């Protein structure tokens, strides 16, 4: 992925993060009949965000020829080992990645808890990727 493609993706993901944060701040409505659409949208955006971060991370690992990750969560451990992302974000990102396959079966309270505990780390991870691509662009 080049910096131009990343910048467009980054902009969209940043908007999605803000929408997710808004929805979680108004979590009292997520369990109501009117909030079902908001809950489903939150799950979709959260799932898409995590998948995008996994894909970006995997791309960096392949590009830089880092060790092959054992699983999706290990992608972020590898990136932290090489200074691409901050080690402090790994637990939150890892928690979200591990929950990814079961996200559609989680209830409202589980979704709110998962998102609340990991969204800041996911946002920091995205910001770290932005720095990576900015530095990559400057090296050209």
For 17-39, write each residue's pLDDT tens digit: 999 999 999 888 877 777 888 88
Provide long-range contacts, Cβ within 8 A and 24+ apart, for 43-46. Answer: 43/103, 43/104, 43/106, 43/111, 45/16, 45/19, 45/20, 46/20, 46/96, 46/103, 46/111, 46/114, 46/115, 46/119
Could you say which of 1.20.120.580, 1.10.357.10, 1.10.3720.10, 1.10.150.20 is the CATH number of the domain covering 3-139? 1.20.120.580
- pLDDT cut 70: percent of the chain above it: 99
Domain boundaries, the chain: 3-139
Q: Which residue reads 């808004």 in tokens?
A: 22
- State whether residue 1 is helix, strand or coil: coil
pLDDT one-digit tens code per residue, 71-92? 999 999 999 999 999 999 999 9
In whole numbers, what is the pLDDT of the chain averaged over residues?
A: 92
Q: Output the pLDDT for position 26.
A: 85
Give the C-alpha separation, 18 to 35, whole Å. 18
Q: Is the per-residue pLDDT at 115 higher than 80?
A: yes
- 59's enclosing H/E stretch is helix 36-64
On whether the CB atoms of residues 135 and 1 are closer than 8 A, the answer is no
Q: Is the per-residue pLDDT at 3 higher than 80?
A: no
Instruction: Tell which residue, 125, 106, 138, 140, has the closest CA to residue 60.
Output: 125
Look at the pTM and tell me if it is higher than 0.85.
Answer: yes
Give the C-alpha separation, 24 to 80, whole Å. 27
């Amino acid at each position: 992925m080049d910096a131009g493609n990343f910048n467009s993706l980054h902009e969209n993901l940043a908007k999605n993060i803000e929408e997710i944060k808004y929805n979680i701040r108004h979590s009292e409505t997520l369990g109501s009949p009117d909030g079902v659409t908001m809950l489903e949208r939150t799950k979709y955006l959260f799932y898409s965000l995590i998948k995008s971060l996994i894909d970006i991370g995997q791309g960096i690992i392949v590009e830089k020829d880092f060790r092959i990750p054992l699983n999706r969560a290990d992608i972020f451990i590898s990136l932290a080992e090489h200074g691409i992302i901050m080690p402090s974000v790994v637990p939150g990102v890892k928690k979200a990645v591990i929950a990814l396959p079961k996200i559609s079966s989680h209830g409202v309270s589980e979704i709110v808890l998962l998102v609340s505990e990991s969204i800041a780390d996911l946002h920091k991870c995205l910001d770290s990727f932005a720095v990576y691509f900015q530095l990559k662009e400057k090296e050209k």
